[in-house]
Amino acid sequence: MTHGTITDESGRDLGPGLGEVATHTTVLFSAQDPLVLDNGARLGPVQVAYETYGTLNAAGDNAVVLCHALTGDAHAAGHHGDPERRGWWDVLVGPGRAVDTDRSFVVCANLLGGCRGTTGPSDVDPATGEAYGLDFPAFTVADLVRVQRALVRRLGVRRVAAAIGGSLGGMQVLEWTLQAPGEVDRAVVLCASARLSAQNIALSTAAREGILRDPDFQGGRYPGTGRIPRAGLSAARMLGHVTYVSEEALERKFDRRRRPVAGTTSDPSAGGPPAPRDGHDWFAPVFEVEHYLHHQAVSFLERFDALSYLYLTRVMDAFAPFEAPDADERLAGVRDAGTRFLVESFTSDWRFGPAHSDHIAAGLSAAGIPVERRDTVSPWGHDSFLLPLGEHLDLVAGFLAR
């Protein structure tokens, strides 16, 4: 990647990306007119951070909404001053790219409960003057979508040409179509789930427990104390990140390559265990994959909050829209509205693998909703939807063009 120009895995030039962009904020709800959550709790004010790219047309119907995954934010494309550090979905968005900003008005917002400019549990509760902490109300994917819908209305959007999301973002896209049939013309659901498996819930539980059991978590009252649950959040990030990549990807990138431990005479190319100076060295990272995970953890601590991690992973656990009492009625509304779906998975994704996408596609198809279902070959695991994979990018571009 050089100054916004990127290529896909075949070497095809995807064209220049967006230039410098800015994150904006707006207040959508107030204490007098609060957001009413699924559980009846009321929340206001609600500030939302968002970015837009391209121009909204006079009819207000060329909007493409990007819904981010668990640890994403509003900065999807372009850069904030350094052309080498670009938004998380820059490969997808820009002039002439799959989401073409010469044609579309693109909106991406940080989620409710987030920690990148949108109201969340580490923000100050105006009623107490202290951070909400665990007093922040529980919320659902449906509540995330209510905030997204309020934002696009504020921006003058009358109809969403397409909503696109991966992982938790794909859950939001699916929920949006069910919550407001007719608002979204085309829905792109990538690497998502409409019913987390016991394994998925177990993995998220293990990650959350690391945070909850960290003494620096302080019962959720750590904001403002100068102490954060670094150990717990680091462990949660390491565990989570392993589930986002495939075994093949880790083998390709690291295999069992080693790095020598400082102060030892161990040979990183040797087949045996490292020779520690004392017991502490035995547990120091020596394999390259260990160093990689430690790097991921340190980077994560600089940009994400433990409370947001707890809340948003729990939101994902609860999402099961096809099991709701009114599911048939909601699906009929989507069918009658004429929304079309692209449901894509990747062959090496073991977190929300092809079976999860099959479940979504089957639920939609059974209700008579048109679905294009694709399973794209990739060795890179769950995070494949973020990478410059030509087949995937062409699939999304073609679906939006049709």
pLDDT in tens, 184-208: 999 999 999 999 999 999 999 999 9
For position 354, which CATH number holds? 3.40.50.1820
Res 15: pLDDT: 79
Name the DSSP letter for residue 383: G
Residue 362 lies in a domain: yes
Task: Examine residue 2 and state whether it is found in any structural domain, yes or no.
Answer: no
DSSP-assigned beta bridge partners for residue 163: 65, 187
Q: Is the pLDDT of residue 32 over 90?
A: yes
Any domain includes 4:
no
In this structure, of 153-167, 252-266, 360-374, the range with the lowest mean pLDDT score is 252-266
Same domain, 191 and 212: no
Catalytic positions: 167, 349, 382
The residue ranking higher by pLDDT, 45 or 263, is 45
Instruction: Tell me: do 38 and 142 sit in the same domain.
Output: yes
Same domain, 282 and 350: no
Q: What percent of the chain has pLDDT over 70?
A: 94
Both 132 and 270 in one domain: the answer is no
Instruction: Give the mean model confidence (pLDDT) for residues 302-314.
Output: 97
Q: Mean of the per-residue pLDDT values for the chain?
A: 94
- In the predicted structure, residue 3 carries a pLDDT above the cut 70: no
105 & 174 share domain: yes
Shared-domain flag, residues 353 and 377: yes
CA 327 to chain centre: 25
- In the predicted structure, residue 265 carries a pLDDT above the cut 60: no
What is the spatial distance between Cα 351 and Cα 205, in angstroms, rounded to a whole number?
A: 14
Distances (CA, A) of 32 to 15, 178, 396: 47, 28, 41
Tell me how many domains the chain contains: 2
For a pLDDT cut of 90, what percent of the chain falls above it? Answer: 89
Which structural domain, as residue segments, surrounds residue 374?
A: 24-195+320-401
The CA distance from 47 to 369, in Å, is 35
Model confidence at 2: pLDDT above 50 = no
Question: Cβ(382)–Cβ(244) under 8 Å?
Answer: yes
- pLDDT grade for 16, boundaries at 50, 70 and 90: confident
